[in-house]
Amino acid sequence: MAPATSNKNNLFSPIALGDMTLANRIIMAPLTRNRAGDGNVPQDMNIEYYRQRAGAGLIVSEGSQISASGVGYPGTPGIHSNLQIEGWKRITHAVHKEGGRVFIQLWHTGRISHSSLQPRHILPVAPSALKAAGQAMTYQGLLDFETPHALTLDELPGIVDEYTTAAQNAKKAGFDGVELHAANGYLLDQFLRDGTNRREDSYGGDIANRMRLLVEVIEKCIEVWGSHRVGVRVSPENSFNDIKDSQPQQTFNAVAKKLSDYPLAYLHVLEGDMMTGKREVDYVALRNCFSGLYMANNGYDLETGNRAIEQSHADMVAFGKLFIANPDLPDRFAKNLPLNKPDHATFYGGDEKGYTDYPKYAGG
């Protein structure tokens, strides 16, 4: 059970993840930027982008597809080909040279894809054949989502194998660990939430069944990485990608309790709904269901991040937009310096503009 009393730690306190110590608790959140090169291979400007932000206690990379069928957007990197592994290897080397630590986020988008992005133009996969509302981002522009192929029982071991191989590839690429993306309406989240999982077999129905695929993936990734090098990200009430759960508090309290059975690096929680701003889940209660390290995310700043750690509501805090615009965010926080404002128009796709050209503080 997590402590309820205050402590003397703050964003600048070191923290141990198993046998690895992070210099601070200011985490760079995974951020889709759509700037991978041909073949979804990380390229030169990606190296500079991550190198600039190595002052984070931990960088969690942008979501990276575990397989060609996991792709859901143009220009997003993978970790399933030799060229992708070599591209990431250059990034991890650059981050480590600056004294930083970096996990890769393993990603399968599930139904949030389109046949035009899939090998042989087959349908995307999902727990159930339920079409998402909205449109997919494709190389041909925005196209309506399609009704996905519901994964069969004999296909699910193949998904687990893809995650296992991706975890092995991440080791080859020099990462310090992996984060499993079980949030924001993507495949593992689609299994967790009852709005997208209507299965009537051992992977559907009650929450013990709905979390079965995630648990199987966790167990395999821990076999690859060992203790405290596998993190998990969830988003209990985020409605992004047309997803919902009828009982998010109960569902994700149960997920947190189950994940306490494993020597995870952390549980990374996107708190609230990015789309509406609603925040109805009791995240302190959820945090108290998890026996390991809790990483909070969504809307935090220096003051609220410090308060969350001081009050033991979180052990680490992940920052997204602030890290996009401020490559030297930990230094700016430490010295209480003014922050650059992010340019929303350059978040997704493009070149170095709005990517590697945000300045460090001139007087820093």
Residue 317: strand, helix, or coil: strand
Instruction: Say which DSSP state 285 is in.
Output: H
What is the DSSP secondary-structure string of 329-358? HHHHHHHT---PPP-GGGSSS-SSTTTT-P
Strand partners, 318: 27, 297
236 vs 214: CA distance, rounded Å: 15
Buried b (16+ CB within 10 A) or exposed e, 122-141: ebbbbbbebebeeebbbeee
What is the DSSP secondary-structure string of 96-112? HHTT--EEEEEE--TTS
Instruction: Say which DSSP state 198 is in.
Output: -
136 vs 133: CA distance, rounded Å: 10
- Residue 186 designated active-site: yes
Residue whose pair of structure tokens reads 């430490």 in the numeric block:
334
- Secondary structure of 268-282 as H, E, C letters: EEECCCCCCCCCCCC
Task: From the candidates 50, 186, 266, 355, give the one annotated as an active-site residue.
Answer: 186
296 vs 275: CA distance, rounded Å: 18
Buried b (16+ CB within 10 A) or exposed e, 197-228: bebeeebbeebebbbbbbebbbebbbebbeeb
Answer whether 281's CB lies under 8 Å from 252's CB: yes
321 vs 342: CA distance, rounded Å: 7
Residues annotated as catalytic (active site), given as ranges: 186
